[in-house]
Structure 1
């Protein structure tokens, strides 16, 4: 919110307001000609209000949000949903911590079966049936046939299956904790001899990292996988014998989500749990930065390809007859691997993977707690290991990556430790083009758990605050679609015109329509004008497409909290409709129908439909504050080196031969003043001699709060100074306000002391005695010295009462042992403001 002074010109409407106020007796209350404005135009401005089915982008656009509703109820013991899949319009969930397969029926999710000491982290569709990747002591792939499970293949030596991709009868499997990528060809029958290696299983990649967490595949058949610990992205061609290579080495230790487009463009999301913190990484955007031009780049066909949907149909469901373009990890929040999945329950959980001892039979609550403790202990150790082994940021943002050869299935799995390097806070989404050019398109204090493509834009599920982001890389636009009442969103799934999101802690499934909600509302924060004010005009800058509209309401009150005391009622609705004659960048004037008050609030009702929403770019409210009296909080007058008031601060016994200080006649006048309206102040200074009733002008039309006054032009005496502050420059003459402040008494003394010698100089032998009085009209005598024959050897004289404390002092000067001849005796008398008297006299010693 910005308070910005308006132009000096006064509109006819404001002139009319002033006339009405004057007639109503507001002459001394409402006066500021220069109005003030509240402006809401950035994400930070709108974020302070209340969003109801509305959302704000990082570019400061306010619009309708998707319609969100909860689908069904999950069993009480299910707190984590690892993956979600639809088959024949039925929704299936892989849930935990006690491994369950759930199916949506009759507005609830019922248990199909429960697994003991195993988990299901990934679901897919294989030949029209639900494919389940079951992790356990003997991991396996199975399909659901009715309510029964049919095992397709058992994977000996594989503890965890993190992700799968189905390509007809070939299934790619990302595993842990040995970091292997498997290619399983189910077009061949199982071997008769189960004791030998199953020829249907081929190890495509055997990495030095413990776990391969996510998979992706492009239209050319290349397979991509992301790792834990080192944050590597591998790419390989399963149909060729060429070694795979590292496509990108991220600074973050874990690649948890991959989205691979048909043309090989890769979006990689990281999930370092230590960087998932509450709140935004940089807060809401607080300034306008413009927006990119969305014209096509003729030289970047890769970029144009990115803006195409994954298929001609908006539906992203999988088919057993077409290659699966699924591109993200099913297990991004579950790679702690424990059935209790503490990583999904802790706000700052770690996502390194590790084998957890299996337990026989259905685990009890005590076993859950024990397993949680075991997992936590391992996570602590794994976190330390991951930090010490954190890779260098080999490919900075906006630099081309340097593909390097990776280990093949026959290469040693020894992993070399690399030095730590500094990295940015938060987690990121990197875009890797087909030319291997890397750019960072997103960074926030969240874990990126899954990424979906939606017609050139990205839908991003995150933790640990249950947020789903919408990214438009070309427009550089980031929006929080919704923040669910859960810690993590492990998976999202696109089906037709809706998105299904599954959460953890607590576990629930929500449906987000791809289009906009039909209605939404935005209520601003309570705006404080600081004083009772007159409201001007509200200007609304918005794009209102056909068949959409926006309703505007306002209210005001004199209590900050509208719920604590009565405000005015919301004003009658003013509706703004689509008008082809009004460009979106042209503000529309809205009359503010609210009583004069200190506090103000507005409410916007957005009405749209699935394909269009009003988009508010800027709200401006103009108001007129009462012209408040300026304030002068301090006024001092001092000579250089002296205390306020012109007096000298004593610093102990004076030095005998000290040179006297210069008499200062320039008096420094200093004051502090402010105007709560922000009006420019001009100052006038006057003085008054003690005992007089007349004020004498010293200076006028000053624009600064300091003035040097030469007092040599003034008669000696005690004065009072007065400074006047006026805001007449920014207000009409009859509406201007002034403030006055007086100084403490000021002494002006430019006259030296007088020498009074009623007795002649006495000379006895070679001794000279001088008796005299020193008098000053205003200032106490400070010191008296004498010197002989113009020498600079001054001798201190004490008064007869031994203390200089008054304007009249008697002195006796005795000068012994003068040599015969003529001499000059010089006497110097100085008052407290350094006016000096010099008295010289000839004497002769015979």
Structure 2
């Protein structure tokens, strides 16, 4: 009894081990196939999953999955207060807050009054400056004659200094609507304005790469000539030295005194666009291979010079450059801004002088860069979709803002607060330092490539206590999710901690939206990956272009024929014949031409330009056809083919192949009666679909000729015209194919001499021949053999016996 119990116990242990091994194996296979980890604990569940797994392998219309799990995946979506980490995670991040928006095309720069916290925004293409008060009130502060206000700063007494382009003037505005000319650079562009700790103003200009130092109204001088095209940005290092980023000759300069500079960094790219210095004295530089400053190069220097000649201290006395032409040029600046592309990256210049590549931009170009006031990374405005990135290292960065305007152009900071401006349209934002309590992320439209049934969403997430997330979905059949034909957002039904079921499930496209929430400022849900399952409707296979081609070149070639003259129907003289070397080369082409004439439904007698007798009909009939076709399956299923054959005078198709996996077959015609035939190809995806879901497609070929019978030959006339010379007339005909070649030989001659029809062209199923026979020797009897071939390669030989005095 004890032995029985021991055996039973051992059997149970083995069964448990087998179940565990099965569960572990299924987990591995399922994880590798679908990216899902299952926890199988019972034999029943293991068996169920095994069945499902084999079902997914067996059926062509199997469940597929689209994944968002990398930075590149999530970066194609749109976020509002959601931070996208370079590791491919989502979490609640800073929330951009729009402070103002105008009808202007571009907000070039923003400056803050450190005393009353008013903000001043420089815009284009109407030369306006706006004041934004802390309470949100906005008013027009200045409307300049120039079309672009490209630089702005505020002095220690609250005066607003603005740089205008084209013309290179600097205005000071203390009261609304009363700009006053402060300094003329006599350059075309003013790109940046900055005060040092002593209240001295430095001006970056172009297109001659000059920096001016201005100590007061109309009290300025050339400080440094960089010999670059444009000086794009200015700053100060930790020791108070002036820094300059240039374009044309892409450099970062440290300028310690007038006309004394040291190159900290130079690049082979086109421009160093912007620079910033962090709390540790590191300098960060945005480098582009495409330049923004070139957009102004066509603002005519002669028109700028014309406006500069009006040397007056009042802005009301200046004249705007020829408005029509200038506005035509600047009207395209916003679109040109969006078209800038090329390589962009950020370099770090350490206080020791060492330079390292800090970040390769995921979007180009880089417009502006700012060291975070709290020391937590570097903000970078890059690309053409209103995005701001925060950099920590080359591999550690995140997308922290995504606004609806096309590009973020500039940054500034004040008392730890970060502000930025945009283009298309002009707007001013504050980038909140603290994370919001709720954020949104909308994915890119996920494409099923056809109308599909969308299944559950599986979301892997880390959800700390006090945080949560939910999922909305919408569907449509256009690539643009903002199309009015898309469904409304609807919350997906939560099935468990990971699975969510969308409301409307049948469409080509699906978009999901994540809503992240937290009740704790220090915590956020983190989304690791999103998987969306879908299944395509089983679409039928697609068959195209059945080609039926005669097999040639495998049978023994017929003996070559030497050209011989045949009498012209007009002159009675033999026409010129093609050379012998052409005869074999044209055999296949002539036979193929006849076949395709029949398939195309053309009357063979109407074919023009047929080869002469010396160039056709040089091969025997192979009695085989190659049939090929093109086939695809929209679902990617493997296809099986059935092939049927039918003569034109028959009503039923007869299957000649039922299990063909290749898209070609060779058909022998030795046992077929002569006539016109068609091939039918049926494609099915039954190997990978159940019987109630399989689909088929059928296509029928054009008609082709099966002709295994040789032509008939009849000698119609024999006339002796000299003691050893005869003139013969003959005809050849075929019921299905055109005659393609003819030749004769006399007695034991090894050579065959080619014949041409009396009309000079092989273009009919019946041809007439006239030729002269003059044997080399005079004997009592001569044997003339006449050989005729049709375009299917069938050959017939008939003989005629010639005897002197007209006897036969």
Q: 1:669: Cα distance to partner?
A: 0.9
Q: 1:255: Cα distance to partner?
A: 4.3
Correspondence 1:442-481 to 2 at 5 A? 442=360, 445-446=364-365, 448-453=367-372, 455-461=375-381, 468-475=388-395, 477=397, 479=399, 481=401
Picking from 415, 440, 451, the partner of 1:521 is 440
**Distance change in 2, residues 1:735/1:828 (3 Å):** same
Instruction: Name the SS for the 1:729 alignment partner.
Output: helix
- The answer as to whether partners of 1:688 and 1:721 remain within 8 angstroms in 2 is yes
Correspondence 1:78-89 to 2 at 5 A? 82-85=109-112, 87=114
Q: In the alignment, does 2:513 pair up with 1:603?
A: yes
What is aligned with 2:63?
35
Correspondence 1:229-268 to 2 at 5 A? 230-235=249-254, 244-251=261-268, 255-261=272-278, 264-268=281-285
Q: 1:527: Cα distance to partner?
A: 5.2
Instruction: Tell me the distance in 2 between the aligned counterparts of 1:630 and 1:549.
Output: 46
Correspondence 1:319-718 to 2 at 5 A? 356=308, 360=312, 363-364=315-316, 367=318, 369-370=320-321, 425=342, 429-433=346-350, 434-439=352-357, 441-442=359-360, 445-446=364-365, 448-453=367-372, 455-461=375-381, 468-475=388-395, 477=397, 479=399, 481-483=401-403, 485=405, 489-496=409-416, 498-502=417-421, 509-524=428-443, 529=448, 533-544=452-463, 547-555=466-474, 570-574=490-494, 588-596=498-506, 600-608=510-518, 610-616=521-527, 618-639=529-550, 641=589, 642-643=592-593, 645=595, 652=609, 654-658=611-615, 660-662=617-619, 663-689=621-647, 691=649, 695-712=653-670, 714-718=672-676
**Distance change in 2, residues 1:646/1:431 (3 Å):** same
Structure 2: unaligned runs, 5 residues or longer: 1-31, 37-45, 177-181, 332-339, 552-588, 599-603
What is aligned with 1:392?
none
Instruction: Tell me the distance in 2 between the aligned counterparts of 1:92 and 1:806.
Output: 95
Instruction: Tell me the distance in 2 between the aligned counterparts of 1:92 and 1:123.
Output: 10
- The answer as to whether partners of 1:754 and 1:774 remain within 8 angstroms in 2 is yes
Higher helix share: 2
Q: Show CA shifts across 1:681-731 (max 9, x none).
A: 122223234555665544454333233334345454443322121112222
Instruction: Tell me the distance in 2 between the aligned counterparts of 1:83 and 1:716.
Output: 89
TM-score by length of 2: 0.65
Instruction: Tell me the distance in 1 between the aligned counterparts of 2:759 and 2:312.
Output: 111
Q: Show CA shifts across 1:309-352 (max 9, x none).
A: xxxxxxxxxxxxxxxxxxxxxxxx9xx9xxxxx97xx99999xx
Structure 1: unaligned runs, 5 residues or longer: 20-30, 148-153, 185-189, 191-197, 277-332, 337-341, 381-422, 578-587
Q: Show CA shifts across 1:762-798 (max 9, x none).
A: 9995455778775656545445432213242525375
- The answer as to whether partners of 1:647 and 1:833 remain within 8 angstroms in 2 is no
Instruction: Tell me the distance in 2 between the aligned counterparts of 1:830 and 1:78.
Output: 81
**Distance change in 2, residues 1:485/1:829 (3 Å):** closer
What is aligned with 2:710?
752
Q: Show CA shifts across 1:785-819 (max 9, x none).
A: 32213242525375899998447x78787645762
Correspondence 1:159-174 to 2 at 5 A? 162-164=192-194, 166=196, 173=202
- The answer as to whether partners of 1:553 and 1:574 remain within 8 angstroms in 2 is no
Q: Show CA shifts across 1:560-582 (max 9, x none).
A: 989766958825543987xxxxx
Q: 1:836: Cα distance to partner?
A: 1.0
Instruction: Tell me the distance in 1 between the aligned counterparts of 2:773 and 2:387.
Output: 97
**Distance change in 2, residues 1:575/1:491 (3 Å):** farther
Aligned length: 682
- The answer as to whether partners of 1:83 and 1:490 remain within 8 angstroms in 2 is yes
Instruction: Tell me the distance in 1 between the aligned counterparts of 2:106 and 2:450.
Output: 51
**Distance change in 2, residues 1:625/1:357 (3 Å):** same
- The answer as to whether partners of 2:369 and 2:378 remain within 8 angstroms in 1 is no
Q: Show CA shifts across 1:359-383 (max 9, x none).
A: 656544x956348789999999xxx
What is aligned with 2:15?
none
Deviates more, 1:652-661 or 1:701-710: 652-661
Instruction: Tell me the distance in 1 between the aligned counterparts of 2:397 and 2:495.
Output: 28
Instruction: Tell me the distance in 2 between the aligned counterparts of 1:98 and 1:532.
Output: 51
Q: In the alignment, does 2:123 pair up with 1:104?
A: no
Instruction: Name the SS for the 1:515 alignment partner.
Output: strand
What is aligned with 1:837?
796
Instruction: Tell me the distance in 2 between the aligned counterparts of 1:783 and 1:176.
Output: 86
Deviates more, 1:687-696 or 1:809-818: 809-818
Q: 1:130: Cα distance to partner?
A: 6.3
**Distance change in 2, residues 1:645/1:599 (3 Å):** farther
